[in-house]
Amino acid sequence: MTTASRFHRLRARTSRNLRMSLMCKSSLGNAVVDEFPILRQEVHDGKALLYLDSAATSQKPIAVTEAFRKAAQEVTSFPDDADIKEEIETARANVASLLNASPRDIVFTRGATEALNLVARGWGDANISEGDEIILTVMEHHSNLVPWQSLAERNRAVLKFVPLSKDQAFNMEAFKSLLNPGKTKIVAVNHVSNVLGCVNPVKEISELAHAAGALVSVDACQSVPHMPVDVKELGADFISASGHKMLGPTGIGFLWGRSELLNAMEPLNAGGAAMSRVSINPASTFHDAPAPWRFEAERLPYAEIMALSEACKYLQSRNMSQVHEYEMELGHYLWDSLSEIPGISLYGPSPSSSAGRDRGALVAFNCKGIHSNDLAFFLDQEGVAIRSGHHCTQPLHRALGVAGSARASLYLYNTREDIDKFCTILRKTLKMFSDMGFGVEETSPCPLVSTSDPTLRDPGIDRPCTDLWPKVDAEAEGVKENN
């Protein structure tokens, strides 16, 4: 081991120990874990479950599952019942309270994907014309990318993408250069990257976009569950989130939007409660209800809304500032612990950098010579649940020069001990691969990946997207394309 390697390991270990010494002995994770019975289950011949996949879907506390059960089993009246309507509006107020928003600005949706599509369709179709420009980033989840691609195709708009900075975070200088006053109509960006973990400067982005005459739509799926999100402070125009990532059930999410924008938007669906008045005599006419009800034409999923409401109350009871502080400590410890394992490349800004100091509690990584799916499979056999693949961010992984990555993600119910156990099992699994001739020997850790792999390329529509991009011979492929 070189002197530099010893220095970096010592610095990481010292930094980690200092942070951990500041944490209270009875951590938040230890305090709440018994409220999540699923985390106490055993899998694969008695192995304890170690759940490190909350960026995909969070677990639910007893209060949330009980609220869902009660709504599903004990409530027999239909949703036009006055009491049920009142409970739905109370739930809307609980969601709004979490965001410091007005309940009238909260629209219930089937999830964040529908919320983002509602913005692209309901606002975009009416306000984006041929030649107008839409700015996104290369780190967007497909749910905040494809709706805008579809809009650009329908209305012949221009898409522009903010590349990564050198430390794999939001590139502010590149963003400023892409803004085109009078032409840029909307900026769509995630608040926290589900792969890089970086917290994007939404407030500054919003100020710059508004100065250029553009709106801002934020995918907040990875921020609302983990940190204080104040819509007034962020300054964005639309914010979307999903229930199943914030201790709630699947099939429910929400869109927050400015009142004047929501009331000017066309709903995706017509009928039902979305109408304030309908007539056929003397002419067939209808009038949309005001926001948010104009967007909720179908019978709302009552049980899911009740569970989401309870999830919001639960998060507020735990103090989102404290949740964020606790998760930052865990996230930094996870990064430092993984960085000490030989052969591992980490993605996103380091916690020691300005772009990474408040990064989310997740780390995406790759182990040299081992596909992420293979690694995740064998970790699963040991009871460890992580995520592998492209995480619905294929363009980002192409920018990183890799086919996919493994990702460990944490939540308020995880602990430092979970991370220690994970790294122990990971080392054991990598040793198994090494014994079979895969992976790397015990050498110094791989550096942060910052260069793309030239053998990986966008396959185009003639070669469908898959999880593992085949490497091709560049010269042979070039000859084929030229012919």
In the set 24, 221, 367, 392, the catalytic residue is 392
DSSP 195: T
Q: Are 16 and 39 in contact (CB under 8 A)?
A: no
Token pair of 237, please?
Answer: 């125009």
CA-derived radius of gyration, the chain: 24
Helix axis angle for 320-339 and 302-317, nearest 10°, is: 80
Q: What is the rounded end-to-end Cα distance, in angstroms, of the chain?
A: 50
Q: Is 1 exposed, middle or buried (0-12, 13-18, 19+ CB in 10 A)?
A: exposed
Q: Are 348 and 331 in contact (CB under 8 A)?
A: no
Q: Are 275 and 286 in contact (CB under 8 A)?
A: yes
Place of tokens 């649940």: 385
Catalytic site includes residue 465: no
* One-character DSSP codes across 48-81: EPEE-BTTT-----HHHHHHHHHHHHT--S-TTS
**In which element (H, E) is residue 107 found?**
strand 106-109
Half-sphere exposure of 179 (CA within 13 A, CB side): 19
Q: Are 160 and 133 in contact (CB under 8 A)?
A: yes
Q: Are 55 and 407 in contact (CB under 8 A)?
A: yes
Taken in order 327, 237, 160, 242, the sign of the CA dihedral is positive
Name the residues annotated as catalytic: 392
